[in-house]
Amino acid sequence: MKAVIQPLVPVLTKDAVPYFTDPVHAGFPSPARDHMDSQLDFNELLIKRPASTYVLRAEGHSMGAAGIAPGDYLVVDRAIEAAHGHIIVAAVDGDFLVKRLQTHPTLKLIAMSPDYPDIELRSGQELEVFGVVTYVVKPMLSKMP
Amino acid sequence: MTTQVFALIDVNSMYASCEQLFNPKLRGRPVVVLSNNDGCVIARSAEAKALGIKMGAPYFKMRHTLEEQGVSVFSSNYTLYGDMSARVMAIIESEVPRTEIYSIDEAFADLTGVQDIAGTCRRIQSRILNEVGLPVCVGASTTKTLAKLANRAAKKYRATGGVVDLTEPARQKRLLALTNVADVWGVGPRLVRRLRTLNIHTALDLASSDPKTLHEIFSVVLARTARELNGVSCIDLESEAPVQQQIVCSRSFGDRIEDKELVRQALVRFTANAAQRLRSQGLLAGQYTIFMRTSPFSGDPYYANSLSERLAWPTDDTGAMTERLDTLLGAIWRDGFRYSKAGVMLSDLYPQGSQQADLFDRSRGSKAGQGREQLLALMDSLNRQSRGQLKFASEGLTTAKSDMRQERLSPRYTTRFDEVPVARLA
C-alpha cells in the first residue's frame, strides 16, 4: 500500500520571520520600513547542511582541550571531510570519542583529555569518523544553585 | 523522445540501521526492531538476518532465543526514523529534483536525460552513507517495475556494490530470466499460484505473455506490470500527494481493556490526534466514526462494532467531535468484553474556506468561532514543541493501559537536546 509523503523542505530548519511585517500598522510609516531584516537565526549560523548535521553532548571528568567542557553541545557535520587539525567525533571500541585528528607525520587521534592516550592508527586499521565538530555551544550559567 | 529512466533508492534495514548509527556498540552486532506494541520483528540488521531471524516473527515467542543469541532488541522509534527519513530524502532531492517519496525508506527519482546513470546512482548512495550515515541500494531502469527489480538485485548480489543500472535491454532480459515471478512488484502469492498453472514462473515468462490476454484473464494491473517489465513505462512519478479521503487514528491496546471509561479516554485521544492532523492539512470533516473490537485471534468472545454520525457542520474542532462521543459510545458499548483495539475516523473532508456559513454562533466567522480557532491553533503549536503538552481533560491524565507498549525505545537522538548521543572527551 502506498503512502505518499509531502516534500519535507522546511522541516529541518525553522524559517526566520521578521518581527514586524507591516510597520505601517502601527500608525506611522517607519523610516526603517525598506530596510527590515530578519531576526538572527542560529540555524543559519550553526546548521549549514541540515541533512548531515547532528548534535552530540560532550561528557568527561575534566575540561578538555580546545575549551570543550563536559555538558557542551557539539554541532557535528558529516559532510565535511575530516582533515588534519579538525576536532572530530570518532567511534572507537563502541564509544563516541572527541579527538583531534592528525594526519601528518602519522595518522593519529590526539587526546582531548589528559586522562586519555593518543591513539596511533596502524595502516589498514579502520577509523570511523562520525563527523567533524563545527561549533560548540557552551552553557555558561551553572545548573547548580 | 528521450527514454524515461527511474531510480529506486531504498535504505538497507532502515530501522535497524538507524539504531546502529547512533550506538557504536551495535556496530556489526545483530539488531532487531519490533512493530507497534512490541509485537513482531519488523527490521533486522544484516547480522540478525544471518542468525536466521525471520521478518514478522512474533516477539513473545522469540524473546529467550534472542537473549541467548545476544541480539539487541528495540521498540520502533518513529520519531527517530522519521527524522532520518527526511534527511535521506533531502539528499536525494538535492541531487534529483523530480522525486517521489514512496515510503519512509524508499524513493523513486527521475533520472531521464542523465548521462552517467550508474555514476549518479553511486554518488547518491555514497552521499547518503557519508552525510546521513545510512546504507542504501539503488536500482535504475526504464520503468518503475524494472527499477524495483534492479534495486532488489542490488541488494541481493553484493558484487554490485549496491547499485544496479538496468537500463540496457539485454541486461534486463538476463535478470528477468533469473527472477521468480513472485518477486515482481505487484504480484502477490495468490496471483503467483494462478500464474504457475499457466506455466508462468519467471519474470521473463510474465514479460513474454500477451498483455491483452493478461488483461482478460487477470486485470489491467497485471497487464501494465507485464508492459513495464518489457521496458514500456506505464506508471509515472506521483508529483502530488492525493487529497485524503479520510483520516483514521486507531491503536491496538497494550493490554486488553474492559473498562468503558478507559476506552472512552482512548477514543478522545485518538479524536484529538486525528483532528490535529485535519487542522495541519487545512481540512474540515463532515463525518465522525468510532469503532472498536475484541481480538479475533485470542480465545476471547468476539465483538466488533462501529457507529458513524454526520456532524452538525464541517469542523476541525476536537471538542465538536468529542461531545458526540458519549452518545456514540453509549450506543455500541457492550460490557464484559475484552477490547483489544479502537479507533476513530474523520471522513467527508472539505478544504477550509469552502464551508457554508452556519446559522449558529459556532461558525468560523463569528467571534466565538474565531476564539475557538485561536485556541486550537495555540494548542497545536505548543503540542508541536512538546508532544502531549496540552490535552483535553477528557483524554485522561495518566498513562493509559491503551497506550502502545514500547518498552525498549531508544532515545530521540536527533530531535531532543536532552536525548542526543554522548561523546566522551578522550
- pLDDT tens digits along A33-77: 788 888 899 999 999 999 999 999 999 987 778 999 999 999 999
A30, A38, A52, A62: which is the annotated catalytic residue?
A62
The pLDDT, as a whole number, for residue B356 is 44
The pLDDT, as a whole number, for residue B391 is 64
DSSP-derived letter for residue B186 is T
Size of interface A-B (CB pairs under 8 A): 116
Q: Are the C-beta atoms of B3 and B112 separated by less than 8 Å?
A: yes
Closest chain B residue to the Cα of A94, Cα to Cα: B25
**Across chain B, how many H-helices and E-strands are there?**
14, 13
- pLDDT tens digits along B96-151: 989 999 899 999 999 999 999 999 999 999 999 999 999 999 999 999 999 999 99
Q: How far apart are CA A132 and CA A77, in angstroms?
A: 5
Q: Can you give the C-alpha Rg of chain B in angstroms?
A: 25
* ipTM field: 0.82
The pLDDT, as a whole number, for residue B379 is 77
C-alpha cell, A34 = 525598506
Active site (annotated) includes residue A30: no
Active site (annotated) includes residue A52: no
Cβ contact, residue pair A60, B241, below 8 Å: no
Angle among Cα B321, B325, B326 to the nearest 5 degrees reads 145
Residue ranges of chain B with pLDDT lower than 50? Answer: 356-361, 363
Q: Does B29 touch chain A (CB under 8 A)?
A: no
Say yes or no to pLDDT of A110 above 90.
Answer: yes
β-partners of residue B107 are B9, B101
In which order are the strands placed within the sheet that holds B136-141?
A: B99-103, B106-110, B6-11, B136-141, B163-166
